[in-house]
């Protein structure tokens, strides 16, 4: 059975779009990792309402000029890396696709870059004529799947309309050779830009990207709000599926639950009675998700990192896991999503979708059975996932022990999937080396 799964995974990885996706995501891993670290530092360490900032009393020991410089630098790095991630993905996907079919990869990459900008260009008039307006959601990490499709499409255009072949391996090409490459790129370049401009005009008219962004945000907020657990579960599943597909982007930090309605009633009860064991609303989706379903961000990435450390034998896998251990501890798992990769990887689809839901249901069951207290207290931004229930229950040790047991369970579930993924990856590399 395992061998059949490995064979199916290898065949799936050999499909051209999946192959391009894997290459693109792995290439962009350093960019995603820098962005992940930047956001983690800004929001989990140096935000005034963050976990580490308050635990270490940084407000008292850090001078204002240093705090301003660090938050400005990390904020800038996060905006550049994650804010332009879609453009870089389109460039890399177009380049790799053209290279796969022995076409001019550099020209295809630049065409993919320009086409992506055309799709995101907005016709909104600005007060400054030198300013250009873009839909930054389309250019950012929130639209990776869209960028991969654009880049792959541009690469296919070069496959069918290009005729220049791969560029020479010479360090410096002759002027004649460069002119020939430029002229050969005219047809696929014009076609790609024309299609990009037409679709961009359609997007301006229909504002499709805005509707998609609103839909994802609504699913994420509604699924993690104060709704009934049975109403929220399918919405959380859809949100997780979109994240696995590369739509919506990373959930970097544990979000403190909003103190409205039932959540406020729970918090008031805990303050009045000095305990959260008998709050009136024990199974709020917002508190359960923050406490038990967010170990390392979407898909319980912290458990996957630990499983990689336990099972992975390759030096590259060990390095990848070690580098991502600290970010995922603070619920920042997008580096691993791209570096392994997890996005569009069928092996990890089931645990990515089901483990957060299982954790949430087990947390609700344990709370209803009075094995652990409810967790009504607000969480500081960037609270490490395994400590969320401990802090949310105001320091209850049963909640901490239950969280650690859940994490061990999650690692145990991930281990066979990791073995399957690593086995399929090794076989895929062997096939590609022979080809």
Which is higher by pLDDT, 168 or 285?
285
Q: Quick check: helix, strand or coil at residue 273?
A: helix
* Tokens of residue 282, six digits: 């024990």
Whole-number Å distance between alpha carbons of 359 and 153: 39
Contacts of residue 42, Cβ cutoff 8 Å, sequence gap at least 6: 70, 71, 74, 75, 78
8-22, 118-132, 353-367: the lowest-pLDDT one: 118-132
Rg (CA), the chain: 24
* Cα-based angle 102, 117, 92 (whole degrees, multiple of 5): 30
- The answer to whether the beta carbons of residues 94 and 147 sit under 8 Å apart is no
Residue 435 confidence (pLDDT): 57
Whether the pLDDT of residue 336 is over 80: the answer is yes
Chain mean position to CA 297: 9
DSSP, collapsed to helix, strand or coil, labels residue 143 as: strand
DSSP E strand boundaries for 333-378: none
223: closest CA among 235, 215, 214, 241? 235
State the chain's mean pLDDT as an integer.
83
* Confidence band of 255 (pLDDT split at 50, 70, 90): very low
Start-to-end Cα distance in the chain: 27
Q: Give percent above pLDDT 90 in the chain.
A: 34
Question: What's the rounded mean pLDDT across residues 41-61?
Answer: 81
Least confident of 82-86, 101-105, 425-429: 425-429
**Distance from C-alpha of 383 to C-alpha of 391, rounded to nearest angstrom:** 9
pLDDT at 153: 95
The beta-strand segments (E) located in 322-380 are: none
> Which of 373, 331, 362, 409 lies closest to 229 in space, CA to CA?
362
What's the pLDDT band for 172 if we cut at 50, 70, 90?
A: low
207-211, 287-291, 310-314, 384-388, range with the lowest pLDDT? 207-211
Which of 31-40, 59-68, 115-124, 380-389 bottoms out in mean pLDDT, i.e. has the lowest?
59-68
The confidence score (pLDDT) of residue 125 equals: 67
pLDDT score, position 377: 85
Residues 6+ apart with CB under 8 A from 414: 300, 303, 304, 306, 307, 351, 355
Res 167: pLDDT: 65
């Amino acid at each position: 059975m395992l061998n059949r799964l490995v064979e199916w995974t290898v065949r799936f990885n050999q499909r051209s779009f999946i192959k391009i996706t894997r290459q693109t995501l792995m290439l962009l891993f350093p960019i995603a990792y820098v962005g992940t670290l930047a956001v983690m530092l800004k929001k989990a360490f140096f935000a005034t309402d963050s976990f580490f900032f308050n635990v270490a009393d940084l407000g008292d020991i850090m001078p204002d000029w240093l705090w301003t410089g660090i938050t400005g630098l990390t904020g800038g790095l996060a905006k550049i890396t994650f804010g332009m991630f879609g453009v870089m993905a389109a460039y890399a996907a177009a380049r790799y696709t053209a290279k796969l079919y022995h076409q001019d990869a550099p020209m295809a990459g630049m065409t993919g870059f320009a086409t992506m900008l055309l799709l995101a260009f907005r016709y909104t008039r600005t007060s400054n004529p030198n300013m250009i307006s873009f839909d930054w959601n389309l250019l950012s990490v929130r639209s990776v799947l869209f960028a991969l499709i654009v880049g792959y499409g541009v690469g296919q255009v070069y496959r069918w309309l290009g005729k220049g072949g791969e560029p020479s391996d010479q360090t410096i090409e002759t002027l004649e050779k460069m002119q020939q490459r430029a002229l050969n790129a005219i047809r696929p370049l014009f076609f790609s830009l024309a299609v990009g401009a037409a679709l961009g005009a359609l997007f301006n008219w229909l504002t499709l990207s805005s509707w998609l962004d609103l839909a994802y945000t609504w699913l994420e907020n509604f699924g993690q709000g104060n709704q009934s657990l049975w109403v929220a579960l399918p919405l959380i599943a859809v949100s997780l599926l979109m994240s696995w597909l590369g739509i919506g982007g990373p959930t970097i930090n544990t979000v403190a639950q909003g103190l409205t309605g039932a959540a406020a009633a729970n918090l008031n009860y805990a303050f009045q009675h000095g305990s959260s064991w008998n709050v009136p609303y024990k199974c709020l989706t917002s508190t359960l998700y923050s406490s038990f379903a967010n170990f390392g961000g979407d898909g319980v990435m912290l458990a996957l990192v630990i499983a990689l450390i336990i099972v992975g034998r390759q030096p590259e896998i060990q390095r990848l896991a070690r580098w991502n251990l600290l970010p995922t501890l603070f619920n920042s798992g997008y580096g691993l999503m791209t570096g392994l990769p997890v996005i569009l990887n069928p092996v990890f689809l089931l645990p990515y979708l089901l483990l957060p839901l299982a954790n949430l249901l087990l947390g609700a069951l344990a709370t209803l059975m009075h094995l652990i207290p409810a967790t009504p207290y607000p969480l500081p931004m960037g609270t490490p996932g395994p400590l969320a229930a401990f802090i949310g229950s105001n320091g209850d040790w049963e909640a901490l022990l239950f969280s650690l047991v859940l994490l061990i369970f999650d690692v145990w579930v991930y281990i066979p999937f990791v073995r399957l993924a690593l086995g399929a990856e090794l076989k895929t590399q062997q096939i590609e080396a022979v080809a």
